[in-house]
Chains A and B, each alone.
Chain A
Amino acid sequence: MQKLIDFLQRFGELVVFAARAVGSLARRPFEVRETIRQIAEIGYASLPLITAAGLSVGAVMSMHTRASLERFGAEALIPAALAIAMIRETGPLVTGLLVAGRVGASIGAELGAMRVTEQIDALETLAVDSFKFLAVSRILACMIALPILTTVMDFTGILGGFVVETAISNMSFELYFQQAFSGVGFADFITSTLKTTVFGFIIGTIGSFIGYTASGGSAGVGRASTQSVVFSSISLIVVNVVLVRVIFFLFPEMQ
């Protein structure tokens, strides 16, 4: 029972933290420099991981799709099926989970270490709003970086599919991409990619919250890192279900 109360109390604190972050987004100082630095740290530094994952996922999905569609003589649909799957769901979700692993852990550990070594207190004594400087800048950076990384994941995934297709069926680059995008609407891309802004908010908020409130020395930093990944990944998967439902409600033509 006590564990449940502790969990609910912690969840309540997280909600207050998230609300404070949302309220701070439009309030000065905007910490533009730190946000840009974090976008580079979170976004640019994640590109190799996202690119490699995108190519691999696209290639594997292409092989699986071929195995299924070949039975019905529908190989021509492989590019379109792959593009729809990548853009609508696989790209956003895989990107979110990869970033939750790489960035969530890093935010949790970095802020946790800053908390236990009094660096966050030091920021405050230097008349810097540590919440805005550390947490809000990271949350905003995640919200900006995620859609960009998802776009990279989508296109590298489709490219990975092309590599497999051209190796098996000798399909040309032009034909492959023409077929791939024939089944994808602008709404597919926009809704699914913008959905990852919410993923970015979740990853940034949970990582920042756990790191910012860490305690207990180096063990506490380790815990903060692990908890950030676990909670942001679980939250992301659950929220994704809700967001898909919301998208289908707002854009019935996508069902």
Chain B
Amino acid sequence: MTSSPDVHIRFSEVDKAFGTQTILDKVSFEVPRASAFCLLGRSGMGKSVTLKLLAGLLAPDAGRVLVDDENIPELSPTQLSHTRQKIGFLFQQAALFDSLTLGQNIAFPLERHRKLSATETREVVDKRLSQVGLAGNEGKMPAELSGGMKKRAGLARALALEPEVLLVDEPSAGLDPITSTEIDELLLELKSEAGTTMVVVTHNIPSARRIGDRLAVLHDGKILAEGTAAELEQSEHPMVREFMNSKTGG
């Protein structure tokens, strides 16, 4: 199966279960290049699992997970490593390396995969930190940062290798509305200026409306509805309508 050039990510008939518990049941969706796809749904419905499947952190039981027409589960370790350099991942709790400073966290992927001088690496680190509003904090340890700062730092690290695809797990979780809006604006900027393709998992409906070109509601292992925010508001499915009309969702 080959995607059209415009489709950057294709999730096709994917099944995933943990033991006897089915998490995803023949889930399919497509994400066009330079667009944002928001996955909504209640907790424990498999949204984060979907992101981990896209990043190759989990393997599907059946189906295909295509990024740039490459089926992630079929890639060799070397190919997967190469593909992962094109994918950024912002974890829900940022997952910063707590033994490294903020600057070292962002420099880490650059030192591993880019042949840059120390000065060039420092320039990229400074640029990424400025981009997320954390300039001057490169010497701080993750434990010294607030939740919002950690999230922005995690985003700076995810962007270090200039990924074509960004996977974002709960960008607003635990953040105040102002910081949450700032992160949304940053994601919108990335999409419009860098042409980054995004899959965003969120409970926050206002945030999903701002970021998402298309939204989908995941429930009991299936996508209940998919479309623009306006289309989902008109959905015939009561749960989808209820979800879309809630102030924050979730």
**Given known A-B contacts A117-B98, A119-B97, A119-B98, A127 and B84 have beta carbons under 8 A apart:** yes
- Residue B87 CB within 8 A of the other chain: yes
Indicate if the CB atoms of B57 and A127 lie closer than 8 Å. no
Residue among A114, A122, A128 making CB contact with B91, cutoff 8 Å: A122
B91 to chain A, nearest CB (A): 5
A132 to chain B, nearest CB (A): 10
Most buried by B among A119, A123, A128: A119
B165 to chain A, nearest CB (A): 11
Indicate if the CB atoms of B57 and A124 lie closer than 8 Å. yes
Give the docked Cα–Cα distance between A123 and B81 (Å).
Answer: 11
Residue among A113, A119, A125, A129 making CB contact with B57, cutoff 8 Å: A125
- Residue A70 CB within 8 A of the other chain: no
- Residue B52 CB within 8 A of the other chain: yes
Indicate if the CB atoms of A129 and B77 lie closer than 8 Å. yes
B245 to chain A, nearest CB (A): 32
A2 to chain B, nearest CB (A): 15
Chain A residue with the shortest CB-CB distance to B57 = A121
Please choose the segment from B36-44, B105-113, B193-201, B221-229 that sits at the chain A interface, where 4 or more of its residues have CB less than 8 A away.
Answer: B105-113
Give the docked Cα–Cα distance between A124 and B77 (Å).
Answer: 11
- Residue A241 CB within 8 A of the other chain: no
* Contact count band on B: 20 to 34
Chain A residue with the shortest CB-CB distance to B110 = A126
Give the docked Cα–Cα distance between A123 and B80 (Å).
Answer: 13
Give the docked Cα–Cα distance between A124 and B112 (Å).
Answer: 12
- Residue B145 CB within 8 A of the other chain: no
B154 to chain A, nearest CB (A): 8
Chain B residue with the shortest CB-CB distance to A29 = B112
Give the docked Cα–Cα distance between A123 and B77 (Å).
Answer: 14
Give the docked Cα–Cα distance between A124 and B56 (Å).
Answer: 9
Give the docked Cα–Cα distance between A108 and B161 (Å).
Answer: 31
Indicate if the CB atoms of B95 and A124 lie closer than 8 Å. no
Which A residues are in CB contact (< 8 Å) with B56? 124
Give the docked Cα–Cα distance between A230 and B92 (Å).
Answer: 34
**Given known A-B contacts A126-B108, A127-B112, A128-B112, A121 and B82 have beta carbons under 8 A apart:** no
In the complex, the 7 A-B pairs of residues with the closest C-beta atoms, listed nearest first: A125-B89, A122-B95, A127-B84, A118-B95, A127-B81, A126-B109, A127-B85
Q: Which residues of A are at the interface with B, using a C-beta cutoff of 8 A?
A: 113-114, 117-119, 121-129
- Contacts A121-B95, A126-B112, A129-B77 aside, 6 further interface pairs with beta carbons under 8 A come to A113-B98, A114-B97, A118-B92, A119-B97, A122-B96, A127-B112
